[in-house]
Chain A
Amino acid sequence: MTSSIELTDVTLDYNLYSVRAQSLRNTVLNMAVGGRLIQAGKDVTYVRALSNVSLKLNEGDRLAVIGHNGSGKTSLLKILAGIYSPTLGKVDVRGRISSMISISVGLDIEASGLENIRNLAMMQMMSDREIKRRMPAIVEFSGLGAFVHMPLKTYSAGMVARLTFSVATQVDADILIMDEWISAGDADFQKRAADRLNNMVDSAKIVVLATHDYQLAAKVCNKVMTMESGVPTFLGTTEEWLERSSAA
């Protein structure tokens, strides 16, 4: 089966039933920073996180989604990963997805790096035997060395990013969805990560990467989508995007 992603006029509204309630989580609050706040009646406020997004990606495409905080990047990724259903519009995603949207969810800070790799891989539906088989490669790529035996609470943010990224890219997935946390790693790791993502085209995969690191986007991706307040402002190849931004 060939993998592909097609979004048709996707609109996403968050309903906030009571704005003062503590139940609102950071993601929603962040949306309110750059998203459009719409008042509807007294109790229900809704934030339009995405409006009329259309997009088509085929095998081999690596899309960078670029935008400010709260521009709708993460919302778009969550729609692609099947976490959110759109309020309006159609989502058609074909292929097995590996999504790494949060750097820390599913991690246990008391457990060692190895145990965490096992837990993350387990959540990605890897069997015990497969985990065992891939473990050396994951550990090797993470570059964490002897630290994999240490509890995660001794890790820096960049080390956690290395660990999560290593697992995410070892999964047999057709579509890889990653949020901007990749930039948490150091220069060496970012280079390795970029190489890795570049190599993934060979295995005919689709990569969607949210970032505000323009260089990373230019290095890794062949398509770029920029977003502002939930509205796509540009969608095209990386060359077109580079031309446009150098002209501006």
Chain B
Amino acid sequence: MSLVGSFKAAALDLYRGVLLTPLWWRVSVEQTVTRYRRSLLGPVWMASTTLATAFSLAIVFGSIFGGDAKDNLSFIMIGVVGWSITGGILPEIANTFVNAAGVMQVRSLPLSFHAFQQMSKIFINFMHQVVGLWLVLMLMKLAVVPHWTLLVNLPIALLTGLFVSIPLGMVSVRFRDINYMVGFIAQSLFMLTPVFWRRSQVPETMRWIVDLNPFSHLLEIVRQPLMGAAAPIHDVNASLAFLGVAALLTLISLTLVRTRVVFWL
């Protein structure tokens, strides 16, 4: 196929993925419901892992850093929960096509379908965490009403995840070592991104680590609205740029190797 033809097919793949929204949404809901059925509290257990991490980090680092304890607590807890829908999803989305291997070998579905399905599952899981977070914050009388910009910023974060998952998922099935690499990169990013510390706390000379890290901006546009404020405009711009780059990578990778991915499984 010509390059133009392949590009059209790539765009069509994304479009068909969108058309299949009822299917991937139903599959994701069904999988979540199944998890509920088999355990006492179902996905609440998964949410509680993140919340437990958030709570522990909030207590330890909140007291190390000093200052207003309550302020630190909600900053860190919301940060960890926000991380779980931004940088924290990297290991999971790297496995997009690995997880879908069984279905991909017997059913003809657009590649983007599997990315949409993965992201919708992550989204459902995230909503559980947000509810859990809210309950904890309410108990401590720290809950605030989220800022309306969350309704714009959360879709930006989800779309970025979607567009990262396609090229990343492709290289992960082609080169199986990538999976392990993504695992440790995500772990390092968690420490290197201001999740449980603030940009203002690091020396001026080290702040480039924060500024050059796309996930620190992406985290901020999710965290700030959850804390009841609009995110700084430079974080929004940086996130949109990141989204644009990811979308471009998705189109390029779909154009070049779309039909070959199934052979790499």
Contacts and interface: CB of A to CB of B under 8 A. Distances in A.
B208 interface: no
Interface string A97-112: 1010110011010110
A123 B31 CA distance: 13
Interface stretch (A56-64, A79-87, A196-204, A216-224): A79-87
A14 interface: yes
Contacts, number: 62
| A interface: dominant SS | loop
B107 A99 contact: yes
A14 B34 contact: no
Given A14-B263, A21-B176, A105 B108 contact: no
B261 to A, nearest CB: 11
Interface string B82-112: 0000000000000000000111111110000
Interface string B14-30: 00000000010011001
Contact of A23 (B26, B104, B106, B264): B264
A54 interface: no
Contacts of A123: 23, 27, 103, 107
Interface string B36-68: 001000000000000000000000000000000
A78 B104 CA distance: 11
B236 interface: no
A149 to B, nearest CB: 14
Nearest to A107: B102
A122 B30 contact: yes
Which of B34, B101, B263 has the most chain A CB within a 10 Å cutoff? B263
B70 to A, nearest CB: 44
B186 interface: no
A108 B33 CA distance: 13
Interface residues of B, number: 23
B249 interface: no
Contact of A99 (B26, B102, B108, B173): B108
Nearest to B1: A85
B265 interface: yes
Given A105-B102, A111-B34, A83 B174 contact: no
B262 interface: yes
Contacts of B187: none
A25 B104 CA distance: 13
B111 to A, nearest CB: 12
Interface in B116-137: none
A82 B108 contact: yes
Contacts of B26: 122
Interface residues of A, number: 27
B237 interface: no
A157 interface: no
B242 to A, nearest CB: 30
A106 B103 contact: yes
Contacts of B23: 122-123, 125
B259 interface: yes
Contact of A81 (B108, B259, B260, B265): B108
Contacts of A97: 108
Nearest to A15: B263
Given A23-B176, A108-B34, A122-B27, A101 B263 contact: no
Contacts of A108: 34
B254 to A, nearest CB: 13
B5 to A, nearest CB: 12
A213 B144 CA distance: 68
Contacts of B259: 84-85
B38 A83 contact: no
A105 B265 contact: no
Contacts of A82: 108
Interface in A114-155: 119, 122-123, 125
Which of A14, A83, A110 has the most chain B CB within a 10 Å cutoff? A83
B265 A25 contact: yes
Contact of B106 (A85, A101, A119): A101
A83 B105 contact: yes
A78 B107 CA distance: 8
A85 B104 CA distance: 13
A142 to B, nearest CB: 20
15 contacts: A21-B176, A25-B265, A81-B106, A81-B107, A82-B108, A83-B104, A83-B107, A84-B262, A99-B107, A102-B105, A108-B34, A110-B34, A122-B30, A123-B23, A125-B23
Interface of B: 23, 26-27, 30, 34, 38, 101-108, 173-174, 176, 259-260, 262-265
Interface of A: 14-15, 17, 21-23, 25, 27, 78, 81-85, 97, 99, 101-102, 105-106, 108, 110-111, 119, 122-123, 125
